């Protein structure tokens, strides 16, 4: 099969036809496509009461999609990969498609304990800490032993999963494409502390030696004193906020913000910032891009602080939300799950908190904001904390009561008590499907929620699992379908479609489509051009003598193979080598033969043999 010529049609034709033909040639050295490098946007939650899994758009502060899932277990968690989401329960793992919003399959978890969820490139991952096991989801379902009980896991932007063994003190890592957990004895038994991520580096905060060290790379960095005494009970945030790692001392009612940079020569670490907390019970800290997030379980509040230690906002958690938990999204927002799937609070990168109702049968009271209870004055070396600005009520519209949550949320009418919300990027393109038709991929999708600004474009991108053939195209805002021509046999393509409006690009829909099946390797022999064997005309001469015409299909592409002719008679020929093209095919004429009525055939050095061909007279 030869190469197919591709060309881009005018944009007017792309929008006006039912199937849009996209043709973009991309060389093997092309840069990664932006559409396929997008971070996982938003956050999925499970609502057992409604038997729904819902997508919370953190940018738009809305519920953009829902998936019916029967029999959701109470306390179910949801983690997402590029094309699928996974509902994690005690007795079952349910996979659903993020594009078609339907359940694909049900898997059995390796343990009944509640795992830690990690969304990362190459994953997502489930870490069963007590059992010492890691489950890699995605295209497969792989369980990997880590050798012992584990601390809280983290993942760096390159897709590496980092773990620490609680029994031996070993630091472990699972690279994006690795099939084993690699551990090394870096800390020694008895060391307490936890992992975090500072920028693109994994670090370990050692509460036994009161040091911090970089653990990314081939060898760990040198430990650096953090400047304060931490207890074994200290709780470490899994990521930094503007270069500071939050550490909660629950018994001391103190929050420390540590300098996350492991200093080099000539640079001393900045002194830790100390924030006093009122008496109460607090959860493990989390971090958005520029703020620290705490749950005050005594007062049922979400507290946010800047990286300078100053309080930013205190927001009441709806009382019917159940036991809340903090989840940091790949969009660097923190999502406060209610535990019952009825409400989600979204903490933006700057620490502002917004409430998103996800239950259909109740309209929650608006979230209120007030400064946290005044903490004790900071240490003398710290400048006095500025008083936070007077809190403003949350004016987000909760909308009318509904009987069931919508697949795409629309905004309620503006009243005198409500201010109109500004536009935000569009929602997920609905019901993206990608199916093979002949050798082409047929794409179709539904309209994305405009989120208060007209959708002006859809951006389509595709990436093969190996080799060349990636491409992208920009379509108009009315486009609902596209065609990607000439998929390579045996190659799986990842396709993304993302909508854009005046506020920017939204959450992408992602799907996979496999190219045509790899054909079975075949060799076909027929009579070729008549001629005479020049070295010895008496051995093979016209008209009975001719070349063997050999057609090879379905072999490995761009590979040299050795072909040897055979005969059920006296015949000797050492054969020749030929190289297949990019489609795994080659046609050639070789091997003079003239034994009329005898059978001839050809074999290759990869074990494939042609059928026996009875040689005809010339």
pLDDT at residue 398 greater than cutoff 50: no
- Tell me if 347 sits within 8 A of 334, measured CB to CB: yes
pLDDT band of residue 407 (cuts 50, 70, 90) is very low
- Which class for 537: exposed (0-12), middle (13-18), buried (19 or more C-beta within 10 A)? exposed
Annotate 201-247 with three-state secondary structure. Answer: EEEEEECCCCEEEECCCCCCCCCEECCCCCCCCCEECCECECCEEEE
pLDDT number for residue 268: 67
Could you tell me where the DSSP H helices lie in 30-175?
Answer: none
pLDDT band of residue 13 (cuts 50, 70, 90) is very low
Q: Read off the pLDDT of residues 297-319 as tens digits, 9 standing for 90 and up.
A: 888 899 999 999 999 999 988 87
CA dihedral (101, 106, 109, 110) positive or negative? negative
Count of CA atoms in the C-beta half-sphere (13 A) of 383: 5
CA dihedral (228, 156, 331, 113) positive or negative? negative
Average pLDDT of 141-159? 91
pLDDT number for residue 341: 72
Q: Read off the pLDDT of residues 52-110 as tens digits, 9 standing for 90 and up.
A: 999 998 888 888 888 899 888 888 899 998 888 999 988 899 999 888 888 888 988 88
pLDDT number for residue 391: 38
pLDDT number for residue 177: 83
Could you tell me where the DSSP H helices lie in 415-533?
Answer: none
pLDDT band of residue 125 (cuts 50, 70, 90) is very high
Q: Read off the pLDDT of residues 412-459 as tens digits, 9 standing for 90 and up.
A: 444 334 456 788 888 888 889 899 988 899 999 999 888 888 999 999
Spatial distance between the Cα atoms of 483 and 2, rounded to a whole number of angstroms: 20
pLDDT number for residue 321: 59
Average pLDDT of 527-553? 90
pLDDT at residue 615 greater than cutoff 60: yes
pLDDT at residue 552 greater than cutoff 60: yes
Count CB atoms within 10 A of the CB of residue 327: 19
Evaluate whether the domain defined by 11-35+424-514 bears CATH number 3.60.15.10: no
Residue 11 host element (H or E): helix 11-16
DSSP structural state of residue 616: P
Phi, psi angle pair for 12, to nearest 5°: -65, -40
pLDDT number for residue 305: 96
Across the chain, mean pLDDT equals 81
pLDDT number for residue 22: 39
Average pLDDT of 363-373? 39
In terms of average pLDDT, the best of 108-112, 128-132, 258-262, 371-375 is: 128-132
Name which of 440, 442, 541 is nearest 482 in CA terms. 442
pLDDT at residue 18 greater than cutoff 70: no
pLDDT number for residue 241: 94
pLDDT band of residue 7 (cuts 50, 70, 90) is very low
pLDDT number for residue 122: 84
Q: Spell out the domain ranges in the chain.
A: 11-35+424-514, 191-358, 522-614
Just give the CATH number of 191-358: 2.120.10.30
pLDDT at residue 383 greater than cutoff 60: no
pLDDT number for residue 304: 96
Q: Read off the pLDDT of residues 23-40 as tens digits, 9 standing for 90 and up.
A: 433 333 334 444 444 557
Domains 11-35+424-514 and 522-614 share a fold: yes
pLDDT number for residue 247: 96
pLDDT at residue 17 greater than cutoff 70: no
Name which of 480, 437, 472 is nearest 455 in CA terms. 480
pLDDT number for residue 393: 36
pLDDT band of residue 560 (cuts 50, 70, 90) is very high
Spatial distance between the Cα atoms of 377 and 141, rounded to a whole number of angstroms: 51
Out of 16-25, 34-43, 56-65, 565-574, least confident range: 16-25
Spatial distance between the Cα atoms of 109 and 296, rounded to a whole number of angstroms: 32
pLDDT number for residue 263: 52
> Percentage of the chain with pLDDT > 90?
43
Spatial distance between the Cα atoms of 420 and 425, rounded to a whole number of angstroms: 16
- Tell me if 85 sits within 8 A of 53, measured CB to CB: yes
Structure tokens at 522: 């075949």
Structure tokens at 140: 């497969």
DSSP structural state of residue 339: S
pLDDT at residue 374 greater than cutoff 60: no
pLDDT at residue 368 greater than cutoff 80: no
End-to-end CA distance of the chain: 30
pLDDT at residue 275 greater than cutoff 50: yes
- What is the side-by-side order of every strand in the sheet holding 599-604? 576-579, 560-567, 599-604, 613-614
Just give the CATH number of 522-614: 2.60.40
pLDDT number for residue 23: 40
pLDDT band of residue 322 (cuts 50, 70, 90) is low
């Amino acid at each position: 099969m030869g190469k197919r010529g591709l060309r881009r049609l005018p944009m007017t034709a792309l929008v006006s036809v039912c199937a849009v033909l996209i043709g973009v040639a991309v060389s093997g050295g092309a840069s990664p496509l932006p559409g396929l490098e997008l971070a996982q946007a938003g956050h999925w939650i499970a609502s057992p009461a409604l038997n729904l899994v819902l997508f919370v758009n953190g940018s738009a502060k809305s519920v953009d999609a829902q998936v019916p899932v029967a029999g959701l277990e109470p306390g179910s968690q949801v983690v997402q990969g590029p094309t699928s989401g996974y509902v994690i329960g005690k007795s079952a793992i349910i996979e659903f498609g993020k594009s078609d919003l339907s359940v694909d399959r049900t898997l059995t978890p390796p343990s009944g304990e509640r795992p830690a969820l990690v969304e990362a490139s190459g994953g997502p991952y489930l870490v069963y800490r007590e059992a010492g096991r890691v489950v890699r989801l995605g295209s497969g379902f792989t369980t990997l032993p880590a050798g012992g009980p584990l601390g809280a896991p983290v993942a760096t932007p390159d897709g590496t999963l980092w773990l620490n063994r609680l029994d031996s003190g070993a630091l472990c890592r699972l690279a994006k494409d690795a099939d084993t957990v690699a551990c090394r004895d870096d800390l020694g038994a008895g060391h307490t502390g936890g992992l975090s991520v500072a920028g693109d580096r994994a670090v370990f905060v050692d509460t036994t030696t009161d040091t911090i060290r970089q653990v990314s790379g081939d060898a760990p960095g040198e430990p650096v004193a953090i400047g304060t005494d931490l207890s074994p009970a200290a709780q470490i945030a899994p990521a930094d906020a503007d270069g500071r790692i939050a550490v909660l001392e629950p018994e001391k009612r103190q929050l420390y913000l540590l300098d996350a940079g492991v200093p080099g020569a000539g640079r001393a670490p900045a002194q830790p910032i100390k924030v006093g907390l009122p008496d109460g019970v607090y959860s493990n800290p989390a971090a958005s891009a520029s703020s620290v997030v705490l749950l005050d379980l005594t007062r049922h509040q979400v507290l946010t602080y800047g990286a300078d230690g100053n309080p930013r906002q205190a927001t009441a958690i709806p009382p019917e939300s159940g036991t809340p938990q903090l989840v940091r999204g790949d969009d660097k927002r923190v999502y406060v799950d209610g535990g019952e799937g009825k409400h989600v609070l979204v903490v933006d990168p700057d620490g502002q908190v917004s409430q998103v109702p996800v239950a259909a049968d109740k309209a929650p009271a608006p979230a209120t904001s007030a400064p946290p209870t005044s903490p004790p004055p900071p240490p003398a070396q710290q400048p006095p904390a500025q008083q936070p600005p007077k809190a403003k009520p949350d004016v987000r519209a909760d909308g009318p009561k509904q009987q069931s949550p919508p697949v795409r949320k629309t905004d309620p009418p503006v009243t005198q008590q409500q201010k109109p919300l500004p536009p935000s990027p569009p929602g997920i393109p609905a019901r993206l499907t990608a199916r093979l038709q002949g050798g082409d991929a047929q794409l179709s999708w539904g309209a994305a929620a405009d989120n208060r600004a007209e959708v002006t474009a859809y951006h389509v991108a595709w990436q093969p699992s190996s080799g060349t053939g990636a491409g992208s195209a920009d379509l108009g805002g009315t486009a609902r379908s596209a065609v990607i021509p000439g998929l390579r046999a045996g190659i799986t393509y990842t396709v993304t479609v993302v909508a854009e409006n005046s506020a920017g690009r939204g959450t992408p829909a992602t799907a996979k489509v496999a190219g045509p099946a790899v054909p079975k390797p075949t060799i076909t022999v027929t009579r070729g051009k008549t001629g005479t064997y020049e070295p010895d005309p008496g051995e093979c001469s016209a008209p009975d003598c001719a070349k063997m015409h050999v057609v090879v299909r379905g072999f490995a592409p761009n590979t040299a193979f050795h072909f040897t002719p055979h005969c059920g008679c006296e015949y000797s020929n050492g054969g020749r080598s030929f190289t297949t093209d990019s489609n795994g095919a080659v046609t050639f004429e070789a091997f003079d033969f003239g034994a009329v009525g005898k059978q001839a055939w050809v074999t290759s050095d990869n074990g494939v043999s042609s059928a026996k061909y009875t040689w005809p007279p010339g």
